[in-house]
Structure 1
Amino acid sequence: FKHPGAEGSKGAESFVTDLDSLPPEHQHIRYNPLQDEWVLVSAHRMKRPWQGQVEPPLATTVPRHDPHNPLCPGATRANGEVNPDYEGTFLFDNDFPALQPDAPSPGPSDHPLFQAEAARGVCKVMCFHPWSDVTLPLMSVPEIRAVVDAWASVTEELGAQYPWVQIFENKGAMMGCSNPHPHCQVWASSFLPDVAQREERCQRAYQSQHGEPLLVEYGRQELLRKERLVLTSEHWLVLVPFWAVWPFQTLLLPRRHVRRLPELTPAERDDLSSIMKKLLTKYDNLFETSFPYSMGWHGAPTGSEAGANWDHWQLHAHYYPPLLRSATVRKFMVGYEMLAQAQRDLTPEQAAERLRALPEVHYRLGQKDRETAAIA
């Protein structure tokens, strides 16, 4: 667990215990045991003047229904298909898939420096709600529960054929989302992607060395330390990881050992829906904007691999939001991040403290609604 080439660097386990002696603004590096990476923490950089790019204000008015929006109920998509008048979630094949089930193999390589392998799979789009002017934090808990159930169902369906099912949501134009309608994507692949391979290797190694899943022990430790917790419930934890890279990055963990989404009990799914709504409400309340992020679920591999021993895996979701100082100033992963290693501008403990302090009632609700919610 030593940083390569860092003379005198300590192992991650002993390094954690020394953090209390460091001033919050003192730069240091932290180890990510889940992905075998390091991050440079330089909180004093938050004080530097900002004359860089400022994002334009986000659009505040989105039509509830636009017949020209290909994700709306009843709309015609690019391939000529007409969406049903759906009232809940709606899952369909991506009209522009990055993966296709019948792609040919590239053939053998004539040199080890020029390797290519077959890549097959399917890509789907899942609409969360029929209205374009809502997002997950503005949906009801039962509506979010329907999304959770749809996630579990599509994981089970595609996981019967493919070893990796990646559910991910890009929210906001800042994260490259081309359509404001509430939706996510599901890509199932014939191979384990790079991040999944790193998490597989690291979790397997930790289980072999310590006798329990890495993220189960990590969640237990964060519950004891409390400084990076954002939300807790009967079945779930939300925390800013010790090794967080993005400014207000969070990790969503079940309290018990769960390998995949379909294994969640009805009570855990209800609780997940509730804690997701609270987290995403806090995100929106941070800068009083529709908070952009990329999020995704990671669980044990599936397909023909499902019968193997994957007990070292713990289900989890990553949230990676780019906003740094305000709704218009974001963290850019360029320069040092692209050429050396990740670097962040405030400590995970500072980020968790700010998120913890935010209300769980959405800023867009009127005062009357706030009072009613507070009473409830």
Structure 2
Amino acid sequence: MNMQHDAKPHRRRNPLTGEWLLLSPQRTQRPWQGKVEDGTVRLRPEHDEGCYLCPGNTRMQGQVNPDYPYTYVFDNDFSALNDCAKYWKCDEDGLFQSESSDGTCRVICFSRRHDLTLAEMDHLALTKVVEVWKSQTAELEQKYRWVQVFENKGEIMGCSNPHPHGQIWASDFIPQEPAKEEKCQAEYLQQYGRNLLLTYIEKELEKDERIVAVNEQWVCLVPYWAIWPFETLLVPRRHTLRMSGIDAAQRDGLAAIMKELLVRYDNLFNTSFPYSMGWHGAPMGDGDSDHWQLHAHYYPPLLRSADIKKFMVGYEMLGCPQRDILPEQAAEMIRSQSLIHYKQLKE
């Protein structure tokens, strides 16, 4: 890293999307008199009788959850996608275009316990989560082109229920974010003859400036082009197209490195660290997918503390994304955190 250049305003390009962002490290000292979130950590019971995701409870439309021991998956009661009886498409002068969408949405309860997050679960429980990600992806990709596994954690990220859970939305179309990655990864392979993300993580391991955690199977880092202050990228170290294709060693390695990342996230500001995360793997189709590499994006909104968040407004909405803290600084801040959860240190 050229510290002389990177200490000044500059741009960086995201090779996965082809988009640019502005970095302004000189703005880290600006005073903050804006919106302050409620960063209070609230204690929750192991089982909440009013929670529609807890075992044995009744959901909004009358379905009763089984007494599940680990994970539980069900069709979303308020699905954003559903089966389309017949495909249709409209186009009026290239100005008014629309088409049908076919898909399904599911909810994944990560644990029977209402009071845990992924950061607080043990290794076995985390492997159960990875296994359900794998099995659900394998099932849904038989019918749909795109399977989006994701988690919104925390009220600040719009999570409507504090019970540990994620979602899967599967569709007959490729959404715009993975569509950008499809194009850029294919172009990189054609131009350089190498897989983009595998080459990238090899270079990052050599530089060792933005690595957060690493094991034999996975690499976790703050990407060179990160937009969110403590954004991270999680990538398998060998060529892997989709979540459905990971083996037992990758499953165990993923559970271990997720634990490291999420504990460090929580320890950063001694709070249950909010984020939106999701998996991107090769879409289903007839073409060659060798240009793809499975990966997960973590997008946490916090900026300086548990109660100050980063807003994507103004210039970010009208121009391009902008960040103040350098990715290299953010990586060091995360990496330096203890692997013992702050709640355990208080016991």
Normalised-by-shorter TM-score class: over 0.9
Match runs of 1:290-329 below 5 Å: 290-302=272-284, 305=285, 307-329=286-308
Match runs of 1:1-376 below 5 Å: 19-22=2-5, 24=7, 26-102=8-84, 105=87, 107-302=89-284, 305=285, 307-366=286-345
How far apart are residue 103 of structure 1 and its match? 5.6
Task: Please tell me the residue identity of whatever aligns with 2:336.
Answer: A
Q: What TM-score do you get using the length of structure 2 for normalisation?
A: 0.97
How far apart are residue 59 of structure 1 and its match? 4.3
Task: Please tell me the residue identity of whatever aligns with 2:281.
Answer: G
Higher mean alpha-carbon deviation, 319-328 vs 104-113, is at 104-113
Higher mean alpha-carbon deviation, 195-204 vs 97-106, is at 97-106
User: For residue 4 of structure 1, what is the aligned residue in structure 2?
Assistant: none
How far apart are residue 23 of structure 1 and its match? 5.1
Task: Please tell me the residue identity of whatever aligns with 2:232.
Answer: T
Residues 240, 251 of structure 1: 8 Å contact kept? yes
1:147-192 C-alpha deviation (Å, 9 max, x unpaired): 0010000000000000000001000000000100000000000100
Partners of 2:262 and 2:95 in 1: how far apart?
Answer: 44
Partners of 1:234 and 1:107 in 2: how far apart?
Answer: 47
Hey, which of these two has a bigger chunk of strand by percent?
Answer: 2
Higher mean alpha-carbon deviation, 279-288 vs 108-117, is at 108-117
Higher mean alpha-carbon deviation, 345-354 vs 60-69, is at 60-69
Higher mean alpha-carbon deviation, 120-129 vs 71-80, is at 71-80
Residues 103, 118 of structure 1: 8 Å contact kept? no
User: For residue 14 of structure 1, what is the aligned residue in structure 2?
Assistant: none
- Secondary structure at the aligned position of 1:294 is classed as strand
- Secondary structure at the aligned position of 2:170 is classed as strand
1:34-87 C-alpha deviation (Å, 9 max, x unpaired): 011001011121100100000013341122211221111011111110000111
Change over 3 Å in CA distance of 1:263–1:107 after alignment to 2: closer
Change over 3 Å in CA distance of 1:78–1:104 after alignment to 2: farther
Partners of 1:366 and 1:197 in 2: how far apart?
Answer: 43
The percentage of counterpart residues that share the same residue type is 53
Partners of 2:17 and 2:86 in 1: how far apart?
Answer: 31
Partners of 1:45 and 1:176 in 2: how far apart?
Answer: 28
Q: CA RMSD in A?
A: 1.3
Residues 41, 272 of structure 2: 8 Å contact kept? no
Question: Which 4+ residue blocks in structure 1 deviate beyond 3 angstroms?
Answer: 103-107
How far apart are residue 366 of structure 1 and its match? 3.7
Task: Please tell me the residue identity of whatever aligns with 2:23.
Answer: V
- For structure 2, the 5+ residue unaligned runs are none
Residues 81, 103 of structure 2: 8 Å contact kept? yes
- For structure 1, the 5+ residue unaligned runs are 1-16, 369-376
Partners of 1:57 and 1:367 in 2: how far apart?
Answer: 18
Partners of 1:57 and 1:300 in 2: how far apart?
Answer: 37
